[in-house]
A = this chain, B = another copy of it.
Amino acid sequence: MSVLPYTEKMRTASQESAVHDANTQADVCEVNCVHPEAVAQARARLPHGEDVDTASAFLKLVADPTRLKLLSALSTCELCVCDLAAVIGLSESAVSHQLRLLRAGRVVAFRKVGRVAYYRLLDHHVTTLIDSALDHARE
Contacts and interface: CB of A to CB of B under 8 A. Distances in A.
Nearest to A27: B86
Interface in A53-84: 53-56, 58-60, 62-65, 68-69, 72-73, 75-77, 79-80, 82-83
Given A42-B73, A42-B77, A45-B73, A54 B137 contact: yes
Nearest to A76: B45
A22 interface: no
B65 A62 contact: no
Please report whether the interface of chain A is mostly helix, strand, loop or mixed according to DSSP: helix
Instruction: Determine how many copies of this chain the complex contains.
Output: 2
Interface residues of A, number: 67
B32 A86 contact: yes
A101 interface: no
Given A56-B68, A63-B56, A17 B89 contact: yes
Given A3-B93, A125-B136, A87 B43 contact: yes
> Which 5 residue pairs of A and B lie closest in terms of their CB atoms, listed nearest first?
A59-B63, A14-B89, A13-B89, A6-B89, A54-B137
